[in-house]
Amino acid sequence: MNAQIEFPKDFLWGTATAAHQVEGNNVNSDVWVLEHVPGSPYVEPSDDACDHYHRYREDIALLAELGFNMYRFSLEWARIEPEEGEFSRAVLEHYRDMLRACHEHGITPMVTFHHFTSPRWLIASGGWESRNTADKFARYCERTTEYLGDLIGAACTINEANIAPLITKLEFSPPPRQLHKEAWWSAAAKALGVSPRRFAPFLYATSPKAIDTILTAHRKGMEAIKAGAGDFQVGITLALLDIQAIEGGETLAAQMRHEINDVFLENLGGDDFVGVQTYSRTRFGPQGLLPAEEGVELTQMDYEFWPEALEATIRYAISKTGLPVIVTENGVSTTDDTRRVEYIRRALQGVTNCINDGLPVRGYTYWSAFDNFEWSLGYRPTFGLIAVNRETQERTVKPSARWLGAIARANAF
């Protein structure tokens, strides 16, 4: 049995959600359209999700009661700016009340300005393949920070800025040039008022121009946030898999690390932290991507149960940026809650190894607070510390939530 490990004072112990995955009825967003077109690859629509848009006060109280001192949630651009240039005061007031609820419970609110979903009008005007999108994002950040900034505890501009190259290069999804041929893609483009070739939702924006637009949006968004109300740390988050090389796979693995991670990590000037989001590892041999290693347990996502990946990606992110790290997402989808405890225990061991080596790791955020809408996979994967009954919306705290909450409260494990 290990000795008790103390975490640095002010260490952030959080859980995370994203608006589209928990709020419900995010009807003005592009993903809502993607879910509903005929032939959609989404296995089911997001529907009421966890009705967090209405239940946030009870939900935040529950997270505080469990022992967490931070809550990371996203602001929904499609709600805040439902038509270009029209900002909804009522929606901003809604998010203001979420921030207030966090403060009332001693929770630091970390907000994400963009978590995969975009307003329909943005996609109609070229989406993430249009350079103007960076300025539009910055204007949304500016107006939102003006209204909310005094209550924000920390901010992420864009969630997983590198997700589109990651999912196409690692073959989780076909690249847009193949998607052009699919009927559902054309139907979604048509519904959003663009040609299939100009259809650029965030999750599919992979071209060099799109990557440049996303990085520019981050930089301009960050400037707008920092110039506004409040005084808090601002960063970006990245999906960082531990990309490993197996005999002869070194060149390919290095190329993948460069294209998926370094292009982003090496362009973060002026950020206060980098948000590391890690779930597993991936391996490359001389011929390319390797399947899961025989004998290694798989999660509900069909990738390896590999909590050690987190230590590797924290070290990688710090070596490339020199910035402090906040683990803004780490977690596992499983129906066996004892495996969740095991996963977090081993991931936290990695975090403490980094801290013991003097590396600046400022927080750990578990994905996710609730079982929620796992994008195209719907509600089957269960990442949550808290289960949600889809019929009644009743919340049930899992043992892993109490276990991690107790660590958070003690600031030691």
In this complex, which beta carbon is closest to ligand BGC, that of residue 16 or of residue 63? 16
46 is a site residue for ligand BGC (CB under 6 A) = no
| Nearest in space to 316 (alpha carbons), one of 253, 247, 383 | 253
Locate 24 and state its tokens: 């419900």
- Of 35, 76, 81, 160, the active-site residue reads 160
At closest approach, how far in Å is the CB of 20 from ligand BGC? Answer: 8
Distance CA 214, CA 304 (A): 29
| Nearest in space to 332 (alpha carbons), one of 293, 376, 280 | 280
Residues from 54 through 113 that contact ligand BGC (CB under 6 A): none
At closest approach, how far in Å is the CB of 374 from ligand BGC? Answer: 5
| Nearest in space to 73 (alpha carbons), one of 115, 107, 111, 46 | 111
**Other Cβ atoms closer than 10 A to 351:** 24
Question: Are residues 63 and 370 in contact, defined by beta-carbon separation less than 8 angstroms?
Answer: no
242 is a site residue for ligand BGC (CB under 6 A) = no
Question: Are residues 260 and 166 in contact, defined by beta-carbon separation less than 8 angstroms?
Answer: yes
168 is a site residue for ligand BGC (CB under 6 A) = no
Question: Are residues 406 and 400 in contact, defined by beta-carbon separation less than 8 angstroms?
Answer: no
At closest approach, how far in Å is the CB of 156 from ligand BGC? Answer: 10
Question: What character string, x for contact with ligand BGC (CB under 6 A) and - otherwise, covers 243-282?
Answer: ----------------------------------x-----
| Number of residues this chain uses to bind ligand BGC (CB under 6 A) | 10
As a 3-state breakdown, the chain gives helix, strand, coil percent values, each rounded to 5, of: 45, 20, 35
In this complex, which beta carbon is closest to ligand BGC, that of residue 49 or of residue 151? 49
Question: Are residues 280 and 242 in contact, defined by beta-carbon separation less than 8 angstroms?
Answer: yes
367 is a site residue for ligand BGC (CB under 6 A) = yes
Residues from 291 through 320 that contact ligand BGC (CB under 6 A): none
Q: What angle do CA 181, 182, 184 make, to 5 degrees?
A: 145
At closest approach, how far in Å is the CB of 72 from ligand BGC? Answer: 10
In this complex, which beta carbon is closest to ligand BGC, that of residue 7 or of residue 264? 264
Question: Are residues 34 and 65 in contact, defined by beta-carbon separation less than 8 angstroms?
Answer: no
239 is a site residue for ligand BGC (CB under 6 A) = yes
Q: Which residue has the tokens 């959609």?
A: 40
At closest approach, how far in Å is the CB of 367 from ligand BGC? Answer: 5
Question: Are residues 274 and 268 in contact, defined by beta-carbon separation less than 8 angstroms?
Answer: yes
Strands (DSSP E) found in 50-107:
70-74
In this complex, which beta carbon is closest to ligand BGC, that of residue 25 or of residue 125? 25
213 is a site residue for ligand BGC (CB under 6 A) = no
In this complex, which beta carbon is closest to ligand BGC, that of residue 186 or of residue 330? 330
In this complex, which beta carbon is closest to ligand BGC, that of residue 130 or of residue 368? 368
- Is position 160 annotated as part of the catalytic site? yes
Given 30, 59, 329, 371, the residue binding ligand BGC (CB under 6 A):
329
Locate 192 and state its tokens: 């959003």
Pairing of strands 281-285, 288-289: antiparallel
Identify the three-state secondary structure at position 189: helix
Q: What angle do CA 117, 109, 333 make, to 5 degrees?
A: 60
Minimal CB distance residue for ligand BGC: 18
At closest approach, how far in Å is the CB of 326 from ligand BGC? Answer: 14
In this complex, which beta carbon is closest to ligand BGC, that of residue 316 or of residue 383? 383
374 is a site residue for ligand BGC (CB under 6 A) = yes
Given 23, 35, 81, 160, the residue binding ligand BGC (CB under 6 A):
160
159 is a site residue for ligand BGC (CB under 6 A) = yes
Pairing of strands 281-285, 242-245: parallel
Distance CA 315, CA 303 (A): 22
Given 11, 15, 18, 60, the residue binding ligand BGC (CB under 6 A):
18
117 is a site residue for ligand BGC (CB under 6 A) = no
Residues designated as active site: 160
Binding site for ligand BGC (CB under 6 A): 18, 21, 159-160, 239, 277, 329, 367, 374, 383
